Structure 1
Amino acid sequence: AIFTDKEAMLRTFQRIKRDPSIINKQISYEHLTNLNERLDIIMNASEERGRYLEFEELRWKVQKLFVQLEFFIMELDKKQGDINQTEKLYNEYQRKIYDEKLHINIESLLPELTRRAQHYSQLGKKDDHISREFNAYCENIRKTMKNFNIDLKTKENMLQETINNWKIYHNLYDSLEKWLNEGEHVLRRSSDEKLVSVLK
């Protein structure tokens, strides 16, 4: 704010009471030029720094959410041991994706992040390396999120299918166990009992 209007600041400084030793003394043109150049450098640097910090502030918000999502996708890639583990992971999926809306929150921040990267790139005096880094970061997040969205839907379907398969397995296992128990009970009966049950 202090550097936005040099003319107003100049008038303010002219009204300040001066040391008597410098009153009516001429300031050299070179010295004034040097001071003006230094002020220009400070003004340009402050604008560049401000836009840099604006981008960084939002980048770390995005990065915090992105790392959570990335870690969760790695968890989804691990094999589950039983139906309880699979159901627990599916509930976690529901919470993170549908309740917390992790991926939607990241995507909602991307347009503003891209705008801030472009805002930095439009500066007259900027660090070109940082500008390229900002734009590359935005592009990388955008592409990765596109892949994550496809991956998340696939993983949701796989979790649902795995849970259904576990239920089928348990139902079949229970039926098999019941059949084996009944067969074992039949085999243990004496010949007379077997004959009576056949005659019935």
Structure 2
Amino acid sequence: MSTYRIQSGDTLSKLAQRYHTTVGELAKANNIQDPNKIFAGKTLNIPGSRDEFIPSTSQAGGGRTGGTQGTTGTQGAAPTGPAPQGQVGQWIEQARAELQRAGVDPSKMDPRAIAAIIQHESSGNPNAQNNWDSNAKKGTPSIGLMQTIQPTFDAYKLPGHDNIRNPVDNIIAGVRYSIARYGSVSNVPGLQSMANGGGYVGY
């Protein structure tokens, strides 16, 4: 579960906007009786991180969207079924609906495969940012649920979905990139590795 330590000047309203949730959900997740009273130094649970992801014992690799991985992947065993329950699952379904309206084949964007990438890349935190890898050293850190770098996001976003930190916009760009590079989200090398008994590697 993702957590946040309250800073001086924070309000539940500001934090709800930052983490793409609601004041009510934050209050419920933290048993807060009066949403107008929060205290600096206390830790908040972020409700969007409680989704039921695919269980895995593998460890994340170092690659990120826009990296230098050259494999194309082959169709093999891959996650199937509905998106996970919870807020991340809702974001995935919203993104898939937008992608379908844009003409993307639903069979190429399995929601469980998308959820698996999100689990390993950001643990479901739409504000996740990688400040240490090679992309970050070049000035283009990996950002958001699917850890896209800005040039990749700009190349694969849909019109009207221009915010790399918006979870739906981020998923849209990450999915379109995955399909363009690997043929489908299920073909992402990290998922193919897991399907064959290996560990997850970044895409």
TM-score, normalising length from structure 2? 0.21
Indicate the structure with greater strand content.
2
Q: Which has the larger radius of gyration?
A: 1
Indicate the structure with greater helix content.
1
